[in-house]
Chain A
Amino acid sequence: MSMKLFEEQYTAWIDGRLTGEELAAFEAQLERGLPNGVTKAQAEADRAAVRQLGVLLRGHYAEVPAPVLKNADFFNQQVLRQIEAETPPTAPPAATVIPWPFRRLVWGGLGSLGMAALLFVTLVLPQLHPGQYYAQILQTQTGDPSISAVAVHSEKENVTVLWIDGLDYVPAKKAKN
């Protein structure tokens, strides 16, 4: 049995922490006498002394009033101040950055909206001016379904414009005729 192991086992024996085979082995050793020549009777007397010492210490610390932290609120305040000093300032929130591919989409979308608004203002609004009305011709008979016709009438000008869209290109030669 090494010296260190003896100290550990002896302490465990005093505190009643040896059990089973360990306890049996240690008590057998006590019967024979410990390595340092201590007899079983001496060891048992020592165990009783250690218990007395424990009683003395517990009594002492029980009698002494438990120390209470003075200026407790100031204590917290000091610690929190120190924590604050150690905490790096939080960075301002970074500006929202839109990745380049999405930025193109955003600009594209905005551009389309702008163009639509421009067309609405220049083409549709004038047609909705009071005194004018705009009508889509619902039924036409053509050989090509892609051809559509719109009629715009102006009371002020006393004119009706029939707008036909989707007609084939007319060669300039025929147009001259």
Chain B
Amino acid sequence: MQPEDCGPSDDAQLVAQCQGGDRAAFDQLMTKYRNQVYATIYNLARNEEDAWDLAQETFLKAWRHIAQFRGQSKFSTWLHRIATNVTIDWARRKQIEGGMEFDDGVGLHEIEPGAATAPHSASLPHQNLQAHEIQVRIDNAMTHLSPEHRAVILLREVDGLHYEEIAESTSCTVGTVMSRLFYARKKLQTLLRDVYETL
């Protein structure tokens, strides 16, 4: 999703103004990136109200820490990292409070790369799967991933980011990104093999 156009304003200039306490400049940055931030969070949280609140939290954090932004990365990347971390933290808290479990403790010994994996849920015949049902299956499968694994799989497979960019967005090492991708893919393969093999 492209940021909302708000004229030729340059991010670096707006950020510098924000660092001087200019709230009007921050308002412009919010207008430019609010949909992008919201979409990122919504894809992880899958809930409109939560995504709205988390997007607000993201921008508040950005304002509180704007003085520490040195421009070593793009502002949008920095903001994306905050959004991802805010959402992962939220999901973790929700998991602890609600007793949710992300069943992604998959070990290499449990799933071999070439092993035939069967979907957990009762599968319909492939040819009968309707688009809506596929969407429900995918959404459901994503909820089985931990927030960290969901983040890396979305950033890699959907947003097409490189490992380094994902590492920056999720505040972890490239090695951790690759490791998380490995387990996230294995989990999704287990849950969705019957779906993607029919496409």
Contacts and interface: CB of A to CB of B under 8 A. Distances in A.
B112 A37 contact: yes
Interface centre among B31, B63, B113, B179 (most CB of A within 10 A): B113
B144 interface: no
Contacts of B146: none
A123 B35 CA distance: 82
B30 A79 contact: yes
A70 B30 contact: no
Interface of B: 1, 21, 23, 26-27, 30-31, 34-35, 38-39, 42-43, 48, 51-52, 55-56, 59-60, 63-64, 108-109, 112-115, 131, 134-135, 138, 153-154, 156-158, 163, 175, 178-179, 181-183, 185, 188-189, 192-193, 195-197, 199
A60 B135 contact: yes
Contacts of A3: 108
B38 A68 contact: yes
B112 A56 contact: no
Given A57-B158, A67-B48, A68-B38, A46 B113 contact: yes
Contacts of B51: 67
B56 A75 contact: yes
B114 A55 contact: no
Contacts of A55: 196, 199
Contacts of A14: 185
Nearest to A7: B182
22 contacts: A7-B182, A8-B178, A15-B156, A17-B163, A37-B112, A42-B112, A42-B113, A43-B114, A45-B114, A49-B189, A52-B199, A56-B138, A56-B196, A57-B154, A58-B157, A60-B134, A64-B135, A67-B48, A69-B55, A76-B34, A80-B23, A82-B56
Contacts of A79: 30, 56, 59-60, 63
Interface in A1-25: 3-4, 6-8, 10-12, 14-15, 17
A72 interface: yes
Nearest to A82: B60
A150 interface: no
Interface of A: 3-4, 6-8, 10-12, 14-15, 17, 34, 36-39, 41-43, 45-46, 49-50, 52-61, 63-64, 66-70, 72, 75-76, 78-80, 82-84, 86-87
A34 B131 CA distance: 37
Contacts of A11: 178-179, 181-182, 185
B108 A69 contact: no
A56 B27 contact: no
Contacts of A45: 114
A67 to B, nearest CB: 4
Contacts of A52: 196-197, 199
Contacts of A58: 157-158
